[in-house]
Amino acid sequence: MKREVPLLISIAAGIFVLIGFFVPHPAIRTTYDDIQQWVIIVVAFTYVLGMANLLRINVEQVRRRAKDWPYKAALVAALLITMAVGFSEGTRYLNDGTRFSWIYNTFYSSMSSTMFSLLAFFIASAAFRAFRVRTVEALLLAIAAFILMLGRVPIGNIIHPLLPQAADWLMEIPQNAAKRGILMGAALGVMATGFRIILGIERTYGSESGGG
């Protein structure tokens, strides 16, 4: 039961979705559509599961007064307050002027964009400390990087009028060829793995170590 049922579910769902792609008959398409609707709903539940797990772990750490527990307490408080405010607003929760949209703009949006913007500093530091041209291949990489970095911004035209054209040519010809090779190789890998999962050969989720 523990291994066979998940395997059956996976194989049945996979084969149905695969067949549904090719067979437009209503008898197949009806179930095909139903299965996909179910997946949308089940994936939504995984978001809730993630939140529940986060809450469980952090509440436990606060209770045990683990390292950095005041920060964990702040995390739990932020989570619960956000949820309480959101649910109290009802379907207008994201409308302009609501408390929930204020939380989104003030906390979520600002911190999310700032976290990503930190990377600019690290890429500059890494360019100095780690980018070493020691081989022909690295030299090719560096030349391509230079042409792109300078050719794709307005200053490229000032440095040399051919730089933007060189950047465009590089993107459309040699870069394109290599990326296409990677794309096709990856496609073969994904298709092979997909068939393995659908045919029940790949069963990582059915392992005894629990919970997939």
Partner 1 sequence: MSHDIGIWIAALLTLGIFSFLYKDNPAYKLCEHLFVGVSAGYYVVLTYFSVVRPNLLDPMFHDFFGHRHFLLVIPLALGILLFSRFFPKGDWLSRWPIALILGVYPALRITGFGQGDFVEQIHGTILPLWVHGNLGATIGNWLLVGGLLTTLIFFFFSKEHTGALGGAARIGVYFLMVSFGASYGYTVMARISLLIGRVMFLLHDWLGVLHL
Partner 2 sequence: MSPSLADLRRLDRRWIFLAIGVLVVAPLLTGFHIAPVRPGARAKGFYDAIERVPAGATVLLAGDYDPGTIAENYPMHLAAARQLMSRNIKIIAVELYPGGPPLADRVLRIAGEEFHKRESYDYVNLGFKSGNEVVMSQMGSSIPRTFPADRRGIPVSQIPVMKGVENFSQIALLVSVSAGFPGTKEWVQQVVSRYHVPMIAGVTAVSAPEYYPYLQAGQLQGLLGGMAGAAEYEVLVGHPALATRGMDAQSLAHVFIAFMILLGNIAALPQRSAGKKQGPSA
Q: Which of residues 48-87 bind partner 2 (CB under 8 A)?
A: none
Any contact of residue 174 with partner 1 (CB under 8 A)? yes
Q: How far is the CB of 160 from partner 1 (least distance, A)?
A: 16
CA 69 from chain centre, in angstroms, equals 29
CB–CB of 46/64 below 8 Å?
Answer: no
Q: What's the closest the beta carbon of residue 154 comes to partner 1, in angstroms?
A: 12
Q: What is the CA radius of gyration of the chain?
A: 26
Q: Which residues contact 118 (CB under 8 A, 6 or more apart)?
A: none
Among 61, 62, 148, 164, binds partner 1 (CB under 8 A): 148
Q: Which is nearer to partner 1, 108 or 158 (CB)?
A: 108
Q: Does 40 sit near partner 1 (CB under 8 A)?
A: yes
Interface segment toward partner 1; rule CB under 8 A; list 59-67, 158-166, 174-182: 174-182
Q: Is 185 in the site for partner 1 (CB under 8 A)?
A: yes
125: phi then psi, degrees, rounded to nearest 5: -65, -40
Applying the rule CB under 8 A, the residues between 99 and 158 that interact with partner 2 are: 101, 104-105, 108-110, 112-113, 115-117, 120-121, 123-125, 127-134, 142, 145-146, 149-150, 152-158
| Nearest CA-CA partner of 130 in 117, 142, 140 | 142
Cα distance between residue 71 and residue 198, in whole Å = 44
Of 63, 107, 155, 158, the one binding partner 1 (CB under 8 A) is 107
Residue 3 in contact with residue 206, Cβ under 8 Å?
yes
> Per rule CB under 8 A, is residue 175 in the interface with partner 1?
yes
| Closest to 10 (Cα-Cα) out of 212, 148, 161, 191 | 212
Cβ proximity to partner 1: between 146 and 158 the closer is 146
Compute CA distances 208 → 51, 109, 204, 212, whole Å: 25, 41, 9, 8
Total residues binding partner 2 (CB under 8 A):
63
Q: Which is nearer to partner 1, 158 or 185 (CB)?
A: 185
Instruction: Work out the angle at residue 139's Cα, subtended by the Cα atoms of residues 138 and 144, and round it to the nearest 5 degrees.
Output: 100
Q: Which stretch binds partner 1 (CB under 8 A): 37-45, 59-67, 154-162?
A: 37-45
Region binding partner 1 by CB under 8 A among candidate stretches 11-19, 59-67, 154-162: 11-19
